[in-house]
Amino acid sequence: MNLFFQNSLAFPSIIFSALLIIILFYWLCAAFGLLDIDLFNIDSELDINADATGLAGWLTKLGLAGIPVTIILTFFTLFGWFISYFAVHWGIRFIENNLLRYLAGIIVFFIVAFISLNLTAICLKPIRKKLAALNKPKSVQQLIGKLATVRSGTVNEVKGEAILEDGGAGLLLQIRAPSAENIQRGDRVMIISYDALTHSYQVVTEDEFRH
């Protein structure tokens, strides 16, 4: 067990160990509706934009555009941690000179990052369309007047999530409502409008809409 922690906390595996802890914390929060699945909100249509730059451009080149970035990071981190751990276990830890060990660690880090990114692409590309559909509504007009179930702990003017059943995995929607409405997890809400500026839907409770 001591060797396990030594390898996990050695450079460069410590970088992926830290990312792994953050990812685990994120998914725990997401499970309770405290964070969005697509925390970074990368446009799911970027795969048709040849001029995409930055992170969006990289995702497009890898064939991952449209997949929630948090899912990509999860796979990347898992692959990176596993490979870097055994790189330390089988090689780096036997280098006695500190300077050489850190230089080797830097080289290994970039190699591991490259391999992990490509392994992530290989694993996710076959199911890209299904994963992209998690956050891709059919159209704004089609969702107006639909009932959804609140997923987040609360709903107010700045945050809130709901699931709209569509016969498949369900659509995850960003929703907004006055905090005075006291909408909570599990409540049924009616979608009444869409705010293009915040990419969110204005909702009211089902009871309020009926009356």
Decide: 109 and 18 in contact? Cβ < 8 Å: no
Phi, psi values for residue 161, rounded to 5°: -135, 150
Over residues 27-47, the mean pLDDT reads 62
Question: Which CATH number, 2.30.300.10, 3.40.50.800, 2.40.50.140, 1.10.3720.10, labels domain 140-210?
Answer: 2.40.50.140
Q: Is the pLDDT of residue 137 over 60?
A: no
Q: Is the pLDDT of residue 108 over 60?
A: yes
Mean pLDDT over the full length of the chain: 83
Between residues 69 and 48, which one has the greater pLDDT? 69
Residues 180/183/184/188 CA torsion (nearest 10 deg)? 170
Confidence grade of residue 148 (pLDDT, cut at 50, 70, 90): very high
Q: Which of 143, 164, 166, 136 is nearest to 44 (CA)?
A: 136
Structure tokens given for 157: 């003017």
Q: Which of 155, 206, 164, 204 is nearest to 184 (CA)?
A: 155
Confidence grade of residue 52 (pLDDT, cut at 50, 70, 90): very low
pLDDT in tens, 122-135: 998 888 777 666 55
Q: Which of 181, 182, 145, 180 is nearest to 164 (CA)?
A: 145
Q: Is the pLDDT of residue 44 over 50?
A: no
Over residues 179-201, the mean pLDDT reads 90
Q: Could you identify the residue written with the tokens 């596993």?
A: 82
Residues 18/20/24/29 CA torsion (nearest 10 deg)? 60
Phi, psi values for residue 194, rounded to 5°: -125, 135
Query: Rounded CA gap, 138 and 130, in Å?
Result: 13
Decide: 160 and 176 in contact? Cβ < 8 Å: yes
- Look at residue 40 in the predicted model and tell me its pLDDT: 54
35-49, 80-94, 158-172, 184-198: range with lowest mean pLDDT: 35-49
- Look at residue 71 in the predicted model and tell me its pLDDT: 87
- Look at residue 69 in the predicted model and tell me its pLDDT: 82
Over residues 153-170, the mean pLDDT reads 84
- Look at residue 183 in the predicted model and tell me its pLDDT: 92
Query: Rounded CA gap, 152 and 58, in Å?
Result: 31
- Look at residue 48 in the predicted model and tell me its pLDDT: 43
**Residue ranges covered by each domain of the chain:** 1-135, 140-210
Can you name the residues that pair with 188 across neighbouring β-strands? 149
Query: Rounded CA gap, 161 and 155, in Å?
Result: 7
Confidence grade of residue 175 (pLDDT, cut at 50, 70, 90): very high
3-state secondary structure of 200: strand
